[in-house]
Amino acid sequence: MRLFSLHTKTTEELIERYQQPLYWHIRRMVVTHEDAQDVLQNTFIQIHLHLSELRDEDHERAWVYRIATNEALLWLRDKRELVSLEDEDASALLKNLSADPYTDNSDRLVVLMQEAILRLPTMQRTVFNLRYYDELPYEEIASITGSSVSAAKTNYHYAKERISNYVTSKIPQ
């Protein structure tokens, strides 16, 4: 493990490096632009407050993504919009998706995929987004979600299957 001085990484450097990828990671979880901005701001506050805990530069990305993921999950819990296939509250996030002015609703397949992702259980949705959109390796996903590599792979597999089944069921044959 390589220790590095806190002087080599500042909050400003982390903001510059991770602002855009964290925004999109959070946005996929909370859906709307405004909510993503709020959660992103909270994320960088937490990063600043806990910067002294960042000890291993090799794990920097996993560390900031874990904070962002936790902040997004806290926001969802506070809003009582945790989504699963059986959860009737899934409609709240789906309504946010269709009402968000920053969402392009013109591509039906993209909208169906987003609907399918929002219907996933929270862990599957998180793992899917980290792997599919952020292209993170399973080792980092496991670190971010506090799970094992095999659990991350399993969640991703089931998420892909559920998304495929949902989209296929909605497309006329």
Identify whether 93 is part of a domain: yes
Mean pLDDT over 128-136 rounds to: 95
**Quick one: pLDDT at residue 81?**
45
What's the pLDDT tens digit per position in 153-165? 999 999 999 999 9
User: Do the beta carbons of residue 83 and residue 89 sit within 8 Å?
Assistant: yes
Give the confidence band of 26 by pLDDT, cuts at 50, 70, 90: very high
Tally of domains within the chain: 1
Whether the full predicted model's pTM is greater than 0.85, yes or no, is no
**Does 5 have pLDDT greater than 60?**
no
Residues in a beta bridge with 56: 3
Identify whether 79 is part of a domain: yes
Identify whether 52 is part of a domain: yes
Identify whether 1 is part of a domain: no
**Does 127 have pLDDT greater than 80?**
yes
Identify whether 16 is part of a domain: yes
Identify whether 148 is part of a domain: yes
What's the pLDDT tens digit per position in 38-88? 999 999 999 999 998 887 777 899 999 999 999 999 998 887 644 443 454
Residue whose token pair is 């989504």: 83
| Cα distances (angstroms) measured from residue 172 to each of 109, 161, 167, 168, 169 | 12, 19, 10, 8, 8
**Does 3 have pLDDT greater than 80?**
no
Residue whose token pair is 């991703």: 156
Identify whether 57 is part of a domain: yes
**Does 119 have pLDDT greater than 80?**
yes
What's the pLDDT tens digit per position in 90-112? 555 666 665 565 656 566 778 88
User: Do the beta carbons of residue 65 and residue 136 sit within 8 Å?
Assistant: yes
**Quick one: pLDDT at residue 140?**
96
Domain containing residue 47: 6-170
Identify whether 103 is part of a domain: yes
Name the DSSP class of 121: -
